[in-house]
Structure 1
Amino acid sequence: MKKLNNLYIFSIIAFLASCSNTRFLPEGELLYTGAKVKVEGDSLSKSEKKDLKTQLNELPRPKPNSSILGLKPKLYFYNLAGEPKKEKGFRHWLRNTVGEAPVLFSQVDRQYNQDVLQNYVENSGYFNAETKSDSTRRNKKASVVYTVKPKKQYSIRNVTFPDDSTQLAKDIRESTRRSRLRPKQGYSLEAIKEERIRIDSRLKEKGYYYFNADYLLIQADTTVAPHQVDLVVKIKNETPALAKKQFRIKDIVVYPNYTIQNDSIRIASDSKVQYKDFTIIDPENLFKPQIFDRTLYFKKNDLYNRTDHNLSLNRLVSMGTFKFVKNEFKVADTTGNYLNAYYYLTPMPKKSIRMELLAKTNSANYTGTELNINWSNRNTFKGAELLTISAFGGMEVQVSGQNNGFNVYGVGTEASLVWPRIIAPFKFESASGFVPRTKATIGYEFQQRSKLYSLQTFKGSFGYLWKENERKEHQLTLSEITYTSPQNVTQLYQDQIAINPTLERIIEKQLIFGPTYSYTYTNTMQRRRKSTFYYKGSVDFSGNITGLLTGADVKNDKQVEIFSVPFSQFVKIENEFRHYLKLGKESQLASRFIVGAGFAYGNSEEMPFIKQFFIGGTNSIRAFRARSIGPGTYDNTLNAGVFLPDESGDVKLEFNTEYRAQIYKFLKGAVFIDAGNIWLMNDNPNKPGSKFSKDFMNELAVGTGVGLRFDFSFLVLRTDFAFPIRKPYLPDGQRWVLDDINFGSGSWRKENLIFNLAIGYPF
């Protein structure tokens, strides 16, 4: 059967390869197959030629039809659809959305491309280069070869900056330490443009509000020495007088209830509040003036700078209270060296209610629905506080599988209040464009597992969130309290506890309280970088101070209780690292590594079940059902009884890597491999093989698969087909199951092939 499958795939590839797209070309036309750039001559080293060739190959236009493994599927579907009779329907969609029109050789302007290549090498300092082209035709296809013969690159000998006695010239000279132009480096027009922008940005930090890069001129003198150039930075004579002045801030005026009506400002001017350095015009008294003192960086007599300008706007936007934020600076009437700053803010509706109806599924074969109702007040106490009250209810059922009939129902409510500042007995200063926040939350959830038990969970927390910048984020929860209480435990579940005693931990009363902290760093927003990464580290404490005060840290036969419930003591640490490597314009290699450990001590023999680690599922190891792996080499199907319980552990190790590439405009494909497992810190006689040991690498579960990602602008819908290639619960030496793979076998597919449907990328 495997040979037949391979023969079938080979036949499809051979068929597509044999389908010549050239027979659909108009009479006398040739299919353009692309351009190649050669760099010749003895003036450049091998590495210089290689780098220059890579850059030049990106320039010729048009680009040929896209291809995969030498095939042109988009062009094939374009020809397959033919000319549609109307501008809608399947044929129109197949031809114009899935397909791609042929790129014809007649569309290629060789002289234009030669000029582009010539300009590029000249602008890179390879003056007096020669560029020519030649075409190659074979059957009904044609390509072009461009040959570039550059001379030795010119290098910078000297760079001279304005040397007059004006303050503007002095400030330009003081910024030369970070200049993009350095002696001995190759001449580059791009570097000259970057230098003008750099100087302009530096001057913006020193009060030159009206200056811009176009007022700078950088002259090049190539006659000073063979293959060398002198650069002279000048301020253009036609530069306006205002652009040469440094400005300070005079009046700061805020309109927190601005509308685009022409007379809105005139009407609002009847009511003014002076608070410190700010003039607040808010006739309806919607906002307390203090929020603008905390949000706006400028103060009276401050030297204008672009950093404070942008940070103030970013903070106003990130508050989430204003729909539109507009800023304007005007020269003050009293003197030409002062600016008045105006902020026009249009608030969002103060109160809103939102209802969401969700459908969901997971790899444990559970499907269900959830209804969420959220009510929000964005300015609760006139200080831009956000109060949110939500209620939710939902259910999950398993259509087929061992847990069929053990449905899950849940209802709950939560209230949260977010202040746009740090509420603490100490002063917190943040030089970030993001508003620091204090958040308090309280919630309740009731969960009913049919035929088994129900759980009541009460939660409360108080903590802080702040960002140093767009890359670094902190979250500190001073107090997080969770109380869980079981109800309605059925005899069926009690019977299962007799078979698998570890199930009793799930329905134990639990009291967890303590601080948590997490730190996140990411540079994934820098899209031009070839390699980006994301890191999140978190630590979770429970009962530490209480353990010292009550003596629970000292081991004894009896647990210390609070309100008749033993409180948990543990430390949990988790680290997640993601790396994204660009392989092409529309392809990348994404990888993730997770390592975590939890340590119970004092008043606790084991980690609380809800604080342990789980593995497997749509966002984990996709070849195994959710929470079905481990711990260690333990096989949970042996003592599962009438249903499959969730497996948990104290230690977690997981690795995922995924190759992502675009297939069509909104359709992307992926090939992935996942590996990992969880373990317990201590021996558990009911779960043999579950303890973490030095042989942990031999106990990893491994799965692989392929998937499609439907990347729409508003969501990413993900489908994955995955199957295991290593099962840790099998005997040592038999865990790799590559030889057992048989897609033609119905029994193998039923046991091993997992379909995952999810929203968003797995990581």
Structure 2
Amino acid sequence: MKRLFAKILLFFLTSGLIISCNAVKRLEADQNLLVKNEIISDGEDVKDPKIYNQLYQEPNSNILGFPLSLHFYNLAQPEIDSILAVKFLNNEKKRKKLVSFLSKKQFDRYLHSRKEFNQWIKKTGEAPVIVNEEDAKKSQNRLKSWYWNNGWFNVETDYEIIPLEDKKKRAKVAYYVKPNQAYFIDSLTTEIASNALDSLYNINKAESKIKPGLQYNTLDFNKERDRLSQLFRNNGVYNFDQEYISFDADTVDTNHKVNTTLIIKNQRNNVGDSIARTPFKIHHISKVNIFTDYSYANRVEAITDSTRHKGYALYGFDAMRYKPEAITDAIFIKPGIIYSDIDRTRTYNRLNSLRVFKYPNIQYTLDPADSTNTDLVTNIFLTPLPKYSLGFDFDLSQSNIQEFGIGFGGSFLIRNIFGGLENLEISGRGSIASSTDAAANSDKDRFFDITEIGSDLKLSLPRIFLPINTEGIIPKYMSPFTNINLGFSAQRNIGLDKQTFSGILNYNWKPSKKLSNSLDLLNIQYVRNLNTENYFNVYRNSFEELNTIAQGSNFEFSDPANRNLKIPDGANRFINYIVSSDTGNTGLDEIDYFNVLDIHERKIRLTENNLIFASSYTYLWNTRESLYDREFSRFRFKIETAGNILSALSNFVQFDVNEQGNEKVFGVSYSQYAKTELDFIKHWDLGKERIFAVRAFGGIAIPYGNSKNIPITKTFFAGGPNDNRAWQAYDLGPGSSGSVLEFNEANFKLAFNGEYRFKLIDEFKGALFVDVGNIWNILDSRTSPDLVFENISDLKELAIGTGFGLRYDFNFFVLRFDVGFKTHDPAQPAGNRWFRDYNFSHAVYNVGINYPF
């Protein structure tokens, strides 16, 4: 392995050395390639990246010091037209030969394609950044402007182009800055012409972004301008604009103090050829008219239906199809209140979230009945979306348990089903797939041996549906919704089939763009497992281990000549023999004895029916506003409990009890546990399409009361394209056990990921990553030391995977290919876990859609 790694490293180093010699081959004799910028302030090197971002020229982008895009650009021919002319057009003999062989049309197309390909190389690559005086002066001026805007009004700047003596045709640029003494805000006075604005300002002046004692910063003045504009427009000043705000800063003979005057002039009005100024006034909403079924086609037709509700006037060109209280509850602009931009924005957001109307049109006009010109009439035009809509989806898939899969589904949406802006969605889904390893007694002649069908019904209500009033806790500006879901699915796989029934009562609300809350007041799941006798045909690893242990025990085989267990009777009989016997009577050592108990427990968990009555709350803080945000953070916290309602009922209702002493409801032992998850993601934009992304995840689920373990559907797994990419999904852990089963899960998980992403060529992106994590069992029925997290020293069992990735950005999604290497494998013997199988033959190759985090 070490030799192979050394060969790979030598190959890349040699290739880089050879290619680097040609990095400047396209430069003229008097040109220099920019390889470095330096900013020196008062004799010290500047490290702040915000200051370096001011420079007009930056060196060519590189990957670990290697300018790949530049070298790709250099592959293009600088004078392609001359080269083609000399090679083909001016060579009469060669030209005639090619024309006779290809035809004139194909020959011309060939030359054109050569030109296009050459142009594509130039466009895809990165032209060399050549040092020149003009660009250096631009950078110098930008630096001077940055320091000035941050309070150093007397800053002095200079630059120097320094050719590198040890590297031909290469140079760096050093920028020298002498900031001198900074200026600080000393006083702030105001000249506000309008009494209404002056009053609003004085009431809220404590929130000013310009404070005496702070160093001058132009951004603070811009923030103050934004604050005042929002303050006025949210407090009735309908026609206010930022252009009326200006600042006058006096720095003459002030000993580096800035005396600032805030100036807000009166409103400007054009009267004929002259300009008149009038004081700004506070505007009130006198009327709110809502047109519930407006369209461009009926804009000139007469109103045929109307009604009033809580001061609102509702109009319809046809018969009113919405409950007035439902419409007005989504409107934040109320008659009798002052004008506010926030109310208009919240009305837009709420109406859009309903999925009943197209983007609304809100217009304000002066009320002609008001002689003071301070009353506004609000007209809200709502254009309904079609009452019914259909949706379809189709996808292909492949995984480690499916050779080939086809998924399909459809949905039928009914808007405003009860007249109160409720939406009912009925959806169905199905899939068929071919497994990678069919069970021994399955139909081998059938290609599609995995099937699943399901259907869901979802009713969405634009309010918190509870018998109590929640307006004081969750105001309507938080866009509250109640969702009622019912679902059913039936799965037929390679041996174990199951049916799932679910019902969810969910509430969600968003206090802000960044924060959202979701509460599952009740989440009921019932999982019914079928064909459980085929368990050991499906989970062959478990059976092979069980069979090997049986051959070394005192178990009496039904066929002594052939000491192999039969499925299912032989395997079940052997398990019962071990479970009911003392350790010394089985002929097994302690390790094999407890391995059988683990296999037995796992079989029970995977074949038993599950009844889960759960409640959960999810808190999500996300600063990402769009898919194109490069720098953001995301934090998710979830807590879930199950079984507590049924446990409380057991004090009043006598439930049946199973052989293990667990209470049963409808013949099924209900699950009782507490589960919590913490998930944090952070992206840093490093510039030039470089991003450093990290993720930290921790989750734990603790059984108690009526349960000794966690339902399989609620446990954690490790590995896979979105987790630790050096292991296949379900192959990692638990602990140091070495993933001896078909898939491995546990009730405690830690995961940490770091990834450096960068641009390669055109839409191709690259990545280097480190994935750390594992799963363990804790405080449940599994006791094997290899599986259990006992104390902090077990963190040495964290698996570490490293690798690299190649991605292609289709703009609307990213196709991802990652290669992961097992760097620290806790399944290996202690002392021999680092770089044990660190090579391409033992690497894991992952294909995924979009980034893993």
- TM-score, structure 1 normalization: 0.88
Aligned to 2:261: 232
Aligned to 2:90: none
Listed as ranges, the matches of 1:349-498 within 5 Å are 349-362=386-399, 367-399=404-436, 408-429=450-471, 430-431=474-475, 433-450=477-494, 452-491=495-534, 492=537, 495=568
Following the alignment from structure 2 to structure 1, what is the Cα–Cα distance between the partners of residues 155 and 243?
Answer: 29
* Alpha-carbon distance between aligned partners in 2 of 1:650 and 1:114, rounded to the nearest angstrom: 58
The 8 Å contact of residues 553 and 602 in structure 1, kept in 2 or not, is answered as: no
- CA separation of 1:10 and 1:553: change in aligned 2, threshold 3 A: farther
| Counterpart Cα distance in 2 of 1:718 and 1:248 | 55
Distance 2:130 2:761 in 1: 21
Larger Rg: 1 or 2?
2
1:24 pairs with one of 22, 26, 29? 26
Q: In 2, distance between residues paired with 1:650 and 1:174?
A: 55
| Matching residue of 1:653 | 750
Amino acid at match of 1:280: L
Q: Distance in 2 between matches of 1:371 and 1:140?
A: 60
Q: Distance in 2 between matches of 1:402 and 1:554?
A: 35
Counterparts of 1:112 and 1:358, CA distance in 2 = 52
State the distance in 2 between where 1:529 and 1:409 align: 39
- Aligned residue number for residue 603 of structure 2: 503
Q: Which residue in the other structure is 1:282 paired with?
A: 316
Change (3 A) 1:600 1:632: same
The answer on whether the counterparts of 1:655 and 1:675 sit within 8 Å (CA) in structure 2 is yes
Q: CA deviation at 1:684?
A: 5.7
Whether the 8 Å CA contact 1:136–1:142 is kept in 2: the answer is: yes
Q: In 2 relative to 1, CA 478–120 (structure 1 residues): closer, same or farther, beyond 3 Å?
A: closer
**Alpha-carbon contact 2:348-2:359 (below 8 Å) kept:** no
Q: Deviation at 1:244?
A: 0.8
- With over 3 angstroms needed to count, the CA separation of the structure-2 counterparts of 1:346 and 1:603, relative to structure 1, is same
CA contact (8 A) 1:86 1:92 kept: no
* Mapping for residues 721-760 of structure 1, pairs under 5 Å: 721-734=819-832, 736-743=833-840, 749=841, 752-760=842-850
Name the CA distance, whole Å, in 1 between partners of 2:126 and 2:324. Answer: 58
Q: 1:98 to 1:397 in 2, by over 3 A?
A: farther
Please say if 1:273 is aligned against 2:307.
Answer: yes
Aligned to 1:647, the other structure's residue is in SS state coil
In structure 1, distance between residues paired with 2:670 and 2:779: 20
1:250 to 283, 286, 292: 286
1:323 is aligned to 2:358: yes
* Native 8 Å contact 1:673 1:703 kept in 2: yes
**Offset, 1:392:** 1.3
Secondary structure class of the residue paired with 2:198: helix
> Tell me, what secondary structure is at the counterpart of 2:705?
coil
Any idea what the Cα deviations from partners look like across 1:113-172, whole Å, max 9, x if unmatched? 444444444444333444444444565455544444443222222110237782221222
Corresponding residue for 2:181?
152
Gaps of 5+ in 1: 744-748
Q: Does 1:297 align with 2:332?
A: yes
Q: Does 1:178 align with 2:178?
A: no
User: 1:280 deviation in Å?
Assistant: 2.0
Distance 1:467 1:16, change over 3 A: same
Comparing 364-373 and 519-528, the one that deviates more? 519-528
1:60 positional shift: 3.4
Q: Which residue of 1 aligns with 2:546?
A: none
Judging changes above 3 Å, is the alpha-carbon distance between structure 1 residues 75 and 579 closer, same or farther for their aligned structure 2 residues? closer
Please name the residue that 2:702 is paired with: 599
Matched, 1:91 2:86: no
Three-state SS of the structure 1 residue aligned to 2:299 is helix
Change (3 A) 1:249 1:6: same
Deviation at 1:416, TM superposition (A): 1.0
Structure 2's unaligned 5+ residue stretches are 82-110, 270-276, 539-566, 576-595
Of 720-729 and 75-84, deviating more is: 75-84
Counterpart CA distance in 1 for 2:849 and 2:626 is 24
Would the aligned equivalents of 1:559 and 1:603 in 2 still touch at CA under 8 Å? yes
1:565-604 → structure 2 map (5 Å cutoff): 565-584=668-687, 586-604=689-707
Q: Which residue is 1:746 aligned to?
A: none
Show CA shifts across 1:352-380 (max 9, x none): 22221112234567542211212222332
Q: Say if 1:469 and 1:554 are closer, same or farther in 2 by CA, change over 3 A.
A: farther
Pick one of 219, 227, 232 that aligns with 1:190.
219
Quick check: 274-283 or 207-216, which moved more? 274-283
Q: CA deviation at 1:505?
A: 1.9
Is the alpha carbon distance of 1:478 and 1:605 closer, same or farther for their aligned partners in structure 2, counting shifts above 3 Å? same
For 1:629, the aligned partner's letter is: L
1:718 and 2:816 correspond: yes
User: Which segment drifts farther, 646-655 or 59-68?
Assistant: 59-68
Match for 1:738: what amino acid?
Answer: F
Q: How does 1:483-632 map to 2 (within 5 A)?
A: 483-491=526-534, 492=537, 495=568, 500-501=599-600, 502-525=602-625, 532-551=632-651, 558-584=661-687, 586-632=689-735
- Aligned in 2, Cα 1:72/1:466: closer, same or farther, shift over 3 Å? same
- Report the count of equivalent residues: 738
C-alpha separation in 1, matches of 2:52 and 2:782:
65
Describe the shift of the 1:243–1:543 C-alpha distance in structure 2 as closer, same or farther (beyond 3 A). Answer: farther
Match of 2:127 in 1: 101
CA deviation after TM superposition for structure 1 residue 210, in Å: 0.8
CA contact (8 A) 1:362 1:617 kept: no
